[in-house]
Amino acid sequence: MSLIRVCAYAKYLNRRNLFEKHTVCMSFAECVQLCMLRRTGEVRRISETSWQLQRRNVSCVNPKAEDGKKRVHVQSQLLDVLEARISQLQSDSVLDVQHAKVQLIRPNTSSRWVLSRKSLKNAPQDKTEIGKGPSKSKPSRWLEKLSKERMTKLTEKHLQQKLQKNVEKKPPTNSKRSINSLMRPNTTIKTIVSGANKTVPLNKIKRQFALSEEFSSALSPPVTSTTVSTATAISCGVSEWEQKSLKNQAVSETGGNVEKQAQGEELERRLIHQESQGMSSSDKHEKSKEFFSWNMRIRIRCYLEACVFVGDSERAHRFLLNQHRLTGRRKHLSTDEYNIIIRMWAKHGMFEKIGRVLILLEEAGLKPDLGTYCASLECIGRMPISSPKTVTRCLSQMKKDGFSVNDVFSQCIFQQDERDMVLKAIHTVKPDYQPRTNVTTHQNSSPLVQDFYMQRAGHRYPKLDITWKELQERFKRQLNMEESGTVTIDSVEAAKPVTENMAKMRQLLAEYHGKWQKVLLQALRDSKNHLAKTSTCNYSNLYPYLCLLKDDEYVDIMLKSVSNMPFSGESLKILAEDLGSKVFSRYSVQQKYKNQSVKKLETIYNAYTELLAKDTKEYVVLPREQWCKLEMEHSLGPTLQGDETRWPHTLTLELGTYMMELMVNNLKIHSNLFDSSYNRKLIPVFYHMYTFRSTFQIGVIKPHPILTKMQQEAIETKLTFASSVIPMLCPPMPWSSVKSGAYLLIPTKLMRVVSGATQHEELLKECKNLHPVMDSLNQLGNCAWKINKPLLDVIISIFNHRGNEKLDIPPPLSEAPKIPYFNPHDPTYTASEKAQMRKNLVIAKKTYGEMHSLRMDALYKLSIANHLRDETFWFPHNMDFRGRTYPCPPHLNHLGNDVTRSILVFAEGKPLGSKGLDWLKIHLINLTGLKKRSSLQERLQFANTIMEDILDSADNPLNGKKWWMNADEPWQALGCCMEIAKATRSADPTQFISHFPVQQDGSCNGLQHYAALGRDVIGATSVNLVPSEVPQDVYNGVAQQVEQFRAQDAKNGLQIAKVLDGFISRKVVKQTVMTVVYGVTRYGSRLQIEKRLKEIEEFPTDHIWEASHYLVRLVFSSLKEMFKRTREIQDWLTYSAKLISKCGHPVEWVTPLGLPIVQPYHRKRCQRLKTTLQFIHVNIGYDANMNPDTVKQKNAFPPNFIHSLDSTHMMLTALHCYSTGLTFVSVHDCFWTHAVNVDTMNMVCREQFVSLHSQPILEELSNFLLHKYCSNSRSELSKKKSQEFRRLSEMLAAVPETGDFDLQQVKESTYFFS
């Protein structure tokens, strides 16, 4: 730049009366320096606003006009820059670069600089950043405070004078020297990023620095004040000693003013404190960065696996290479991602390409693991000539890294013939080597199950009433069903007569389905062709995922979603998740076939069924043990347990949204199907629109009314379900590991959690004591079921007639109230009338939607049951994060409502024996709810007195006296009536083969566990842990206590207590008492009591709100008096969880059976997912990297801990019932078995409860929490953290005291479970 341009700038400023105004503040050297900064574009970006950047980035069509605009724009930008610069020099001479996108990096003299945005961004030592590009934000606080500190003004001036003298004394600068020579040692360089991905080129910077001596002096590092030096030191990570030395030097030059020095130190202390606070806030963002890194790594891995699966090796290799080259992506990669490509090339025997990937692995700073060596050996084995030297070198390196050859065969997952190839390579140097099969003996630290596993002399495990040949046939049928992915069954509504209109609508739907199939198929292929040409460096490219299945399969999934679309529409997020999950499920099945593990599965399963079949020898091993033994015996070939990655939630949503967009854009229907007056044109079948759910706006996909009308009038006779929805036709595969169990091919989680949560799976993988948990799940899953056909026929007849709400059979939609027509613009209605009409419209729509939902739910359950009416079937089980067990099929299972439970009976029948019929009668009275306070003998006598009503109900359920309809559980009561009628009419009731399950329910089971934990005598007596002649009713006891409090308050003149006279009953307080043990709040309790009071017609409605508040207080006071120890334990658990979560940890514990549990309640964060249709906001509350949600953690810990104890009790009961040959299933704290085995099950149930609570549960919990959260050294903590640490330690160590209750009394308590 020449002096002429400098003068031109000065002249321009003179015209604006700026240069003369501020001449004193700007020296010639500063003016030259400013011009140089203007030329490089640095100051321009310092002062630019976001709007100016947007304006500058807009391109014009006319080049001349563009040049003219640029000149004007540049001048205005220069004016803005100089104004900002002069104002800064006039105020404090402080250069504020807050608005520049500046990065500070240390000069590297040993290596060549690479001035790229990404390299600077990802350099680990170069993370200090000033500003984040053009922004409207204000300068940082510490700079504002520095500028306001007038007391340091004198210090600043003296330091500026000294630095200016140093500049003047500086020797002439060589114009050809490098940038590094212009910098002081340990000084950072400000690199100005100019554009989205551009930086100032190094050679251009060098040319700009090749100036005269005067310009070089002007361009020396612009340190103008002590404050700037201190700020730069803090920002650049300069040591504290250097900061102090700079400040002390400046203070000494002012004469050593002690007061100002102290003030300066205080300022510096505040600056450092603010900086530390900034660092701590940035540390909080590290957790979200960890989740982002994990999510990106999973997405990369899924993309690579998809490419390898479809055989696109080049795309997979290019993709990994692109990720490796991008420094920002490389840091997210792990050895697993490189191993995918290494295994891919090993399949082709390309050792050279494996070598290249290994070089990339080394460049990434990663080490080979066992999978790397395994794939390398496999590749050598596939080569025509295996080099012993190469194998020896590979084995020696593997040994150096701490791996043995046996580890390869015991820990690696093999596909196809990989194992054989590895063994072939090893045989080139070790011809006699054979992998050792490690027979793992059971080692469980829990004393609760040591005798169960070690002493099996008296064990006799039950067998199925099915032959071995039939089990093999059933396996093939189940395999075919899972391979197809869907099951189409007849609807129970198919029995209705087909009208002419129904036939017409069905024909129309069939025609459109044929057209839609062709349209979607072509659209999918066109879309794939377009995606195939896009860049392969982006893991969000969906092309590989659209090649996993055949095109017809994608179209089939989409068309079936058309049939299942709700008439009122559905959220795009829900629909997308459903579509994506179905693709993943089919992909997982195809993976097993490609890996050639299905044949091996068939071999092992056929051998395994010898353990269960009735015509084979007796075995004294558990199903899991037998399965593991067979896997070791058939170790050749692929591994049954795959290592495929489960897709993250975001990928499922993206793929599902993409498929949904194809449907919205391509599915059309004619507009004049029902009204010929309309013009005949094609209109979309689905519409994408937005609506409000609560206060949130969400995207919704709605079907066109024409499609809805066609589907309603067609009344389809077929229903299609996913294979996982239907119960299994053969015994489930036993759980033998965290990833292997339940269905044959469909992937199933051992622990069901929110999609995307991983902390539970990681805990389970690390746990070595899961055998009791898996064995109990296997026992529950091996129970065979069948349908109670006579009862099912009765239910279907009512369902197809008009339903019956009293009997929980939802009526058809024809019985729903008509949705009124409402014209909001009709002037004949007043504003109040319109408001009332809107309200009626909302109520009608809500009622219609609820009726449709209930009707479809019943239709699915009854249709599946009718489909299986002649079958024997099984429910595979898994568990939630607390250990509570659930059947995997969602619709038809024994955890359903009264209707569902009533149609399920045991497939295996057993003679009633001497007391079986009595237990059936007692069970019937329990289902009616008539004699809850009576003894078992009194219930039996009552059943004998009403035998006429029981037989009438069995013979004429719909036309007789209908006694059964008044029971609490009417359909189960009717089923029991039919079973009693058949038994009493048989020749010998003791030999009658009964399939009916008899239930024994715990008496307020949560309070039972609390009373046992606290050894609370009063509480134990109230919940039937103590033997008594008649059952103790805790709900009635609380109601009586509340009534006493109310009477006293009424006597004292309290008005609401007088109003409640005669209205306090067992029913009013039952729900609150039942749920208070599971953490219900006072607000929730008030709503429960309010609902009960509204059900009482005589109670005055104007007192409901006040009465519910009053009763909540009395109920909680009564519970506190009756269950003192319970409240102490509950409070201890609550406060412990509160302190733990405040320290930044989720609450974890281990059940007495060794199951690790962590509460998945974390602060929610919203992840915005960009799709082609809309942005989808995913609220993530399971991210373990986020801070825990303190409120949820503390409120949920007591109920979750009790749930984990009742699941432990159930599992112990299941294991010991299995060892005695009983059929046992459970619905949490309700245990089912045959009538003949009720006494045995009751004995086992009580023994295991006593055994469980004989352990020091609270002490072990305290020790675990202290070790988990309080094992850090206090010296490492700050003062505040140290106080929290001390409070937490004291709270966890303060285990509540226990009472004097003798647990052995439970064994004699008749009504503990009854």
> Which sequence positions are flagged as catalytic?
1001, 1070, 1229
Gap between the Cα atoms of 1202 and 1214, Å rounded: 18
Q: Which of 662, 664, 657, 673 is nearest to 708 (CA)?
A: 673
Q: Which of 825, 811, 816 is nearest to 849 (CA)?
A: 816
Q: Which DSSP category does 199 fall into?
A: B
The string over 1237-1273, giving b where at least 16 C-beta atoms fall within 10 Å of a residue's C-beta and e elsewhere, is bbebbbebbbebbbbbbeeebbeebbeebeeebbeee
Q: Are 639 and 631 in contact (CB under 8 A)?
A: no
What phi and psi values does residue 674 have, to the nearest 5 degrees? -110, -5
Q: Are 684 and 668 in contact (CB under 8 A)?
A: yes
Query: CB 389: neighbour CB atoms within 10 A?
Result: 10
Q: Which of 1225, 807, 784, 794 is nearest to 998 (CA)?
A: 1225
Kind plus residue range of the DSSP H or E element containing 656: helix 649-666
Kind plus residue range of the DSSP H or E element containing 844: helix 831-867
Gap between the Cα atoms of 1255 and 1249, Å rounded: 10
Gap between the Cα atoms of 1076 and 812, Å rounded: 37
Give the torsion through C-alpha atoms of 288, 294, 298, 300, to 10 deg. Answer: 90
Gap between the Cα atoms of 11 and 82, Å rounded: 13
- The two structure tokens encoding residue 47: 């002062």
Gap between the Cα atoms of 630 and 623, Å rounded: 11
> Which residue in this structure is represented by tokens 């030329």?
39
> Which residue in this structure is represented by tokens 């000084």?
187
CA distances from 79 to 72, 73, 161, 1190 (A): 11, 10, 29, 53
Gap between the Cα atoms of 1042 and 1063, Å rounded: 11
CA distances from 830 to 288, 821, 825, 827 (A): 54, 16, 11, 7
Q: What is the C-alpha end-to-end distance of the chain, expressed in Å?
A: 98
Kind plus residue range of the DSSP H or E element containing 794: helix 789-801
Gap between the Cα atoms of 1203 and 1228, Å rounded: 9
∠ CA 524-530-531, rounded to 5°: 85
C-alpha 1116: how far from chain center: 35
Q: Are 324 and 365 in contact (CB under 8 A)?
A: no
- The two structure tokens encoding residue 663: 């449907």
Gap between the Cα atoms of 591 and 638, Å rounded: 12
* Residue 483, burial from CB neighbour count under 10 angstroms (0-12, 13-18, 19+): middle
Q: Which DSSP category does 816 fall into?
A: S
Gap between the Cα atoms of 102 and 97, Å rounded: 8
The string over 763-775, giving b where at least 16 C-beta atoms fall within 10 Å of a residue's C-beta and e elsewhere, is bbeeeebbbbbbb
Gap between the Cα atoms of 31 and 562, Å rounded: 71
The beta strand positions in 359-428, using DSSP E, are: none
Give the chain's radius of gyration (CA, Å): 38
- What SS3 state is found at 337? helix
